[in-house]
Chain A
Amino acid sequence: MTAMNDRARAPFLLRLSMALAALGALLSLALFLHAGPYTLVAFMFLAQPLLLLAVALFAVQVLKDLRRERLL
């Protein structure tokens, strides 16, 4: 039952976190491949917050899992 819940419900935050991290990484890649004012601004104001949000969502997911397992 727990495994089913994990598969059906829990990964939403994780998937969102993964998607945001992938987007942030792609924007960062644009900077590394072509460094210019626009790619630097995109890196600073989009990629960086996206990567930060991804870490935060992952942390929330981990906390939820720990609470569910009664480890916290």
Chain B
Amino acid sequence: MSLPPIANSLLAAVAEPDLALPPPHGWIGTADDWARGLGIAFVLLALAILAVSWGRLRRAGLTPGLKELLVLPLVVLPPAIVFFGYSYGIERSKSIGSCGSCHVMRPYLADLQNPDSSTLAATHYKNRYIQEHHCYTCHTDYGMFGTVQAKIAGLAHVARNLSGRYSLPLKIAHPYPNSRCLACHAESQKFRKSEGHPKEDLPKLFSGETSCIDCHGPAHPTVTREASR
């Protein structure tokens, strides 16, 4: 069962009390925790009422009281379940655990979490340049439709993984856009004043003429066919 990051931190705190991440004052869980808890509660309530109603329907037939009772699991609870399902499911789909749940992605996830790796992804991960949703942050375009496009691409990945319509080693579908790097780095003084990024070269980086990955890659290790199986 996958847990949200803060829950993992708290579990780690039990194992290693000295390295505990202290919860904020008055901590009552994350929005994810609540969406999940309420979602489970509503599903169980709907199932319990449906089970009881099914028994009453068999024994006594359809009574006015039963009709009123059925409004709850058939009309009132489903929208709440769908709301919390999306709220929790979409948020959790951004986690690295979700991206790494397909077998073919595991070598990439292993490299990401390897403190000895020097790939760009692992460097960002171990230094916490990105706080959470590491895969998602770098593989999603910014802006209003970035999330939507990422979700559509994610659906296509699930379909390809199910049908086996992909070839190894995996290759990125489109050239990696600099805008995803620059969204974080562009305003950073470390980036602006770096000797590696002379002022006269910046327009090439911002226009995409020069790729960030050309100098800072590889972003991920080259995974062999065997390692992905």
Report if B61 contacts A (CB, 8 A). yes
Q: Are B61 and A11 closer than 8 Å at their CB atoms?
A: yes
Chain A interface, >50% SS class = helix
Measured CB to CB, the nearest residue on chain B to A35 is B92
| A58 and B98 within 8 A (CB) | no
**Residue on B with the closest CB to A58?**
B74
Tell me the complex Cα distance, A58–B62, Å: 13
Question: Are the CB atoms of B93 and A40 closer together than 8 Å?
Answer: yes
Total number of B residues with any Cβ neighbor in A under 8 Å: 40
Docked complex Cα distance between A15 and B36 (Å): 28
Checking A14, A18, A39, A51 against B81 with a beta-carbon cut-off of 8 angstroms, the contacting residue is A51
Which residues on B are within 8 Å of A, measured CB to CB? 1-2, 36, 39-40, 43-44, 46-47, 50-51, 53-54, 57, 61-62, 67, 70, 73-75, 78, 81-82, 84-85, 88-90, 92-93, 97-98, 101-102, 154-155, 157-158, 161
On chain A, the number of residues with a Cβ less than 8 Å from chain B's Cβ atoms is: 38
Is B70 touching A14 in the complex (CB atoms < 8 A)? yes
Bound: A28/B45 CA distance, A: 13
Bound form: Cα–Cα A12–B158 in Å = 36
Q: A11-B62, A18-B74 in contact; A36/B2 too (CB < 8 A)? A: yes
Chain A interface residues toward B at CB < 8 A: 3, 6-7, 10-11, 14-15, 17-18, 21-22, 24-26, 28-29, 31-41, 43-44, 47-48, 51-52, 54-55, 58, 62, 65
